[in-house]
Structure 1
């Protein structure tokens, strides 16, 4: 018979599974410092030897990393999604920018649709809390804060869709976005009209999610990213035209 005696699980295995789950769900994020050994053992109600065994296993598998005198951190695993050579290629070709926006449109549209249908009430409260921070930042006219909250808003929607593969893939892509590899997000906040429009687009996304309207949420995401693509295209053209305008001015001054 294919049965074996049931053995009690080692405490360290339970610790490993819990930390793995937190990383998988995106609750523990790359670069985040874990609590001290004493605090962790108390919170998880395990002995320090069992905790150390679990942490050592997670470090051996590359999920955690130890920094001398600083503690234990979640490993920076997201950067492995793209090789350095590919990142450089992305940053030097405009086509990558628009392909990136198109990819986001498809993935985030699906995520918003799923979130509207499957998110818990708490998930939607997180999305709404970030949107309220966006409203507050908008009044202060700080492009860096707005860009940071914009990224967090979209990631919160992906988290609320409860698809862990999509979550980690999109987190990786957002790290490149924050680093300015795909485009400089502050370009989107140069004009007051653009800033107001973007806020209203995020309001429409949030409203559809809070109403649990999958079709409306997906449509709002798609409309927002269509706008971003058009705005960036217009800005690229304006920048190119300015280069030639400067050349004409220089030529006129020399005539």
Structure 2
């Protein structure tokens, strides 16, 4: 098998580059199924979660399609020569949110007014209602996080969170990744995560708010990296 083990930081980018080069050279033709995930990870000398990150990058580039329960298939060449936007990788966006929103939650715990907390609680109630009714929680989830940013009293942070969410929701691969990885099935647990964040804000506990936000977004990342790509 024409793969080389890789040892470096940002492994998924190098793996995506290596597999992408093989596809462009014709080692794999459009419609071909790539080797099973476990075999591919073993050949490359990396973990399966790292390989899944590479597959996300290749999907963004339009080189492969991951079909749940079937496998990873090579896509026909794209007409556009425009390079993919690296800021639309949903995993990188989640990680950016984790770095930023932990501190935002801590700041909100110290600065939130009673009105702010009521607004965050209102967004929490919308999430709970959506989960109970089997509806999508994406918009109410976004509102919850934006209102926490607003509770810091810093409009720049509100703009940052709105921009991160806009990029994530505009990412072509985000919707399919969200569905494929079972992130929607995680929504009942998400209610618990958000309740912990809200509780820490109400207790005016910056450290607990930071930890709860970090734990929530780390769980989202883990779910996105543990979806089924068959093999």
TM-score, normalised relative to structure 1: 0.53
Matched, 1:140 2:140: no
Q: Which residues of structure 1 form unaligned runs of 5+? A: 1-84, 246-255
Q: Indicate the residue corresponding to 1:164 in structure 2.
A: 155
Q: What is the alpha-carbon distance in structure 2 between the residues aligned to residue 108 and residue 86 of structure 1?
A: 29
Give the one of 101, 126, 151 matched to 2:94: 101
CA deviations over 1:39-65 (Å, ceiling 9, x no partner): xxxxxxxxxxxxxxxxxxxxxxxxxxx
Name the residue aligned to 1:223. Answer: 215
Distance in 2 of aligned mates of 1:180 and 1:133: 24
Give the length in aligned residue pairs. Answer: 149
Structure showing greater relative contact order (alpha-carbon pairs closer than 8 Å, 6 or more residues apart): 2
Report the Cα distance in structure 1 between the residues aligned to 2:108 and 2:83, rounded to whole angstroms.
31
CA distance in 2, matches of 1:182, 1:214: 34
Larger radius of gyration: 1
1:174 to 2:148 alignment: no
Question: What is the distance in 2 between the residues matched to 1:114 and 1:175?
Answer: 23
Secondary structure, in 3 states, of the residue corresponding to 2:85?
A: helix
Residue 153 of structure 2 aligns to a residue in which SS?
A: coil
**Alpha carbons of 1:149 and 1:192: their partners in 2 closer, same or farther (altered >3 Å)?**
closer
Q: Secondary structure at the match of 1:212?
A: coil
Aligned-partner Cα distance in 2 for 1:167–1:116? 15
- 1:161 Cα offset (Å): 1.1
For the pair 1:198 / 2:190, whether they are aligned, the reply is yes
TM-superposed CA distance for 1:186, in Å, is 4.4
More helix by share: 1
Q: 1:56 corresponds to which residue?
A: none
Gaps of 5+ in 2: 1-81
Distance (Å, rounded) in 2 between the aligned partners of 1:209 and 1:201: 13
Structure 1's 191 and 106: CA in aligned 2 closer, same or farther, altered over 3 A?
Answer: closer
CA 1:234–1:189: 2 relative to 1, 3 Å: closer
Partner of 1:125: 118
CA distance in 2, matches of 1:162, 1:86: 38
Determine if contact 2:183/2:223 at 8 Å carries over to the other structure.
no
Normalization by structure 2: what TM-score?
A: 0.58
After superposition, the Cα gap between the structure-2 partners of 1:97 and 1:104, relative to the gap in structure 1 and judged at 3 Å, is same
| Superposition deviation, residue 89 in structure 1 | 3.5
Equivalent runs, 1:1-255 vs 2, <5 Å = 88-91=85-88, 96-143=89-136, 146-181=137-172, 183-184=174-175, 186-187=178-179, 190=182, 194-235=186-227, 238-239=228-229, 241=230
